[in-house]
Amino acid sequence: MSHALLPFILFALVSSISPGPTNLLILAQGARLGLRASVAPMLAACGAAAAIVLLVGLGLGEVLLRHPQAQQAMSWAGVLWLSGLAWRMLRSAGEPLDAQAGKPFGAVSAASLQVVNPKVWMMAAAVIGVFATPALPVWQLALVFLLIAVPCMAVWAVLGVGSARWLQAPGRLLWFNRGLAGLLLVAAWAAVLG
């Protein structure tokens, strides 16, 4: 086992469990639709993030560094998309959970979000720059990241499921959705403006 593996595991754990746009959306998905409906978007998001780590390690990171306009366009696309999601969450903030069930966060949306999420690309560049070595090749980093990210994101879905009963009260649900929408906006804009 490489001596760099433990520090990488800690890095992957912190970056996967910390609140971010995808984790907040999985939390909301778990609260609205339950754990089963959260599995496909969780796997898609984690798989896409691991694929980005792999692609950055195989050279896409260098291409993006040479084309800062592409990076900036991806960042703004992500911010605008997340802002739209936050707006929809805010508009439906007071709707009962069962009324919100028709608006799932699907696997394609979850994977696409990773592609336009600046946090994922910055994380992938950090992973490759800091942890990739001959003893710890890129494909291993991507695989270990995936194996850590899935249970971390599952924690967010379980938190959502656990909060569903508490959220049956309309006032709580209103403030929960408003809070999530606000956190989603902050997470999105902080990545671009920070």
DSSP 8-state class, residue 168: G
For the stretch 132-191, pLDDT in tens is 888 889 999 999 999 999 999 999 999 999 888 887 777 777 787 788 788 878 877 776
Using DSSP, state whether 106 is helix, strand or coil. Answer: coil
Q: Please state, in angstroms and rounded to a whole number, the distance separating the CA atoms of residues 101 and 126.
A: 37
For the stretch 81-94, pLDDT in tens is 778 877 877 776 66
CA 190 to chain centre: 15
Structure tokens at 78: 């992500």
The residue extents of the domains of the chain are 5-91+103-193
Q: Please state, in angstroms and rounded to a whole number, the distance separating the CA atoms of residues 16 and 12.
A: 6
Are 29 and 41 within 8 A, CB to CB?
yes
